[in-house]
Amino acid sequence: MTTRRIGETIVTRVYEQMGPGFPAARMLPGWDPEILKEHGGWLSPNFYEAASGKFISSIHSWVIKTRHHTILVDTCCGNGKDRPGFERFHMLDTPYLERLRAAGVAPEQVDYVMCTHLHVDHVGWNTRLLDGRWVPTFPNAKYVFSRVEADYWDPAKNNELTPAQAAIFIDSVLPVIAAGQAQVVEMTDQLGDGQICDGLLIEPAPGHAPGHVVLRLLSGGDEGIFIGDVMHHPIQVYRPEWSSGFCADPKQAEASRRRVLEQCCETGALVFPAHFGAPHVGRVRRAGAGYRFEFDHGDGA
């Protein structure tokens, strides 16, 4: 179990699944295998499977325990969700909630669920099936996401969504709104303007999704940043121009990524990504005109 301390705050990874995901060229259309000559030594085996040409991808949540609150960042894919065309997300049956309890958190103890965006692999455990109905998994939590993101993925407001896209909102977001547990945040271009609780700031980082946000944690003079899908893979630290094949606006995603990379260098924040392989966390450092990623193996990795 990966656990890190940011000041007085404890952060723990709770995983749903991990292993080979998408082929590298599908995840990152700019992928050039020549990069393996320079970076192949550290990419394999934790981040790239040479035999299949696939990236190793983790799907996990981060649990933040402050002095007063328990916050869950992103909720993976969920069990029993009908996701045709995506075998890795479809009709799962994983012990995610048992792993959450092993991290010391029962669903009733979660105060906030922070959704960096509303894609399939970030909202699944927002809800669970109970007596044939999708209901909030975390009954006492406020679910936080941006207004732009909520409006974009709502099929009642966006008739250009495919049925598969609409289904994600209907089974994993709409029940939260119907239960009165949504805390929809109005984002502006001003960074750090959305304080949630206990040194947690929400900031816009659009591109991968229209209303994508990042979460900054400030505690005891230390800083952590939960980047969602600003980067899917550590190779993007070295090639920030490589946006994923799933980005709504690749150029905007690149601009957000470069801003976050620069911010991480300036603050020394510990980076908590949503999909990096083990050891899952690290810090961004300058490397000439670019950047490098310094993995943090810690004591609990």
Mean pLDDT is lowest, of 17-26, 142-151, 193-202, 286-295, for: 193-202
What pLDDT was estimated at residue 126?
Answer: 98
What pLDDT was estimated at residue 85?
Answer: 83
- Name the pLDDT band for 197 (thresholds 50, 70, 90): confident
DSSP the chain: --EEEETTEEEEEEEEEEEEEEEHHHH-TT--GGGHHHHHHHHTTTTEETTTTEEEEEEEEEEEE-SS-EEEE---S-SS---TT-TTTTT----HHHHHHHTT--GGG--EEE-S---HHHHGGGEEEETTEEEESSTTPEEEEEHHHHHHH-TTT-TTS-HHHHHHHHHHTHHHHHTT-EEEE---SSTT-EEEETTEEEEE--SSSTT-EEEEEEETTEEEEEEETS-SSTHHHH-TT---TT-SSHHHHHHHHHHHHHHHHHHTPEEEESS--TT--EEEEEETTEEEEEE--TTT-
Quote the pTM value.
Answer: 0.95
The chain-wide mean pLDDT, for the chain, equals 95
What pLDDT was estimated at residue 199?
Answer: 85
What pLDDT was estimated at residue 192?
Answer: 42
Residue 190 in this model has a pLDDT that exceeds 80: no
| Domain residue ranges of the chain, discontinuous segments joined by + | 3-295
What pLDDT was estimated at residue 86?
Answer: 86
Residue 62 in this model has a pLDDT that exceeds 90: yes
Q: What CATH number does domain 3-295 carry, 3.30.9.10, 3.60.15.10, 3.30.70.1150, 2.30.130.30?
A: 3.60.15.10
What pLDDT was estimated at residue 300?
Answer: 42
Per-residue pLDDT tens over the stretch 100-144: 999 999 999 999 999 999 999 999 999 999 999 999 999 999 999
